[in-house]
């Protein structure tokens, strides 16, 4: 997946129709989803240097056809199983034996060399005109494709937060100003 945006980045893409939101949609549609959520939290808690970014990246690496054909909780199970296998908490064979058959895991991490930027304070102020960098990193990023290269105006400063793009691939926790 080096330098390629994943299937998960569908924002602004044509052909998928509007997002339909049911007014009183339940958190769980089926009982197995409760179990999937609990298993996900339990598995991810055992992964060394675990983070939300690392978990998201495990989902982003799913095979595109599997990603599009599966539900949110199936994404969670695949991501958690992938991290458990990668952390040697369970082998793929043990996972499939326990599941009673084939169990999909995501593709391997291909993040290239993770750049560790120096922590810095805000460079921009409210009202500044800025352009989002048009880069396509090989690993995890929280920058959706539809805003890359676009010009905008800073409307608020949200403080300094860890950079998910680094956190997904490194134990280092680097703060960066967010706008």
Domain boundaries, the chain: 129-177
pLDDT of residue 97: 95
Looking up tokens 């599966």, which residue turns up? 70
- The total number of residues shown for the chain amounts to 179
Classified as helix, coil or strand, 82 is helix
10-55 pLDDT per residue, tens: 666 777 777 788 889 888 999 999 999 998 999 889 988 888 888 9
Tell me what the mean pLDDT of segment 99-104 comes to: 93
Rounded to the nearest 5°, which phi and psi values hold at 151?
-100, 140
pLDDT of residue 1 exceeding 60, the answer is no
pLDDT of residue 116: 62
Residue spans of alpha helices (H) in 15-51: 31-46
pLDDT of residue 167: 76
Q: Which of 54, 166, 161 is nearest to 116 (CA)?
A: 166
- Decide the pairing of beta strands 175-177 and 160-162: antiparallel
Lowest mean pLDDT among 40-49, 69-78, 110-119, 158-167: 110-119
Q: Whole-number mean pLDDT of the chain?
A: 84
pLDDT of residue 169: 74
Helix or strand holding residue 53 (H, E): helix 52-60
> For residue 121, what are its two tokens?
């304070």
Residue spans of alpha helices (H) in 61-141: 64-69, 72-86, 92-99
pLDDT of residue 2 exceeding 50, the answer is no
Tell me what the mean pLDDT of segment 131-153 comes to: 84
pLDDT of residue 173 exceeding 80, the answer is no
Tell me what the mean pLDDT of segment 86-113 comes to: 88
């Amino acid at each position: 997946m080096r330098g390629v945006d994943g299937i998960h980045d569908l924002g602004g893409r044509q052909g998928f129709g509007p997002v339909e939101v049911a007014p009183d949609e339940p958190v769980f549609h089926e009982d197995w989803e409760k179990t999937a959520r609990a298993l996900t939290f339990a598995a991810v808690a055992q992964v060394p240097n675990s983070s939300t970014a690392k978990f998201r990246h495990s989902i982003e690496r799913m095979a595109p056809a599997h990603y599009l054909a599966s539900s949110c909780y199936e994404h969670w199970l695949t991501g958690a199983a992938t991290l458990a296998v990668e952390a040697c908490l369970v082998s793929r064979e043990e996972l499939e034996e326990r599941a009673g058959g084939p169990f999909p895991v995501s593709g391997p991490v291909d993040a290239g060399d993770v750049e560790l930027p120096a922590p810095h304070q805000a460079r921009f102020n409210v009202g500044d005109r800025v352009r989002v960098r048009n880069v396509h990193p090989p690993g995890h990023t929280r920058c959706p494709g539809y805003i890359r290269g676009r010009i905008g105006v800073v409307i608020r400063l949200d403080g300094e937060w860890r950079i998910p793009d680094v956190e997904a691939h490194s134990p280092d926790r680097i703060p960066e100003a967010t706008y």
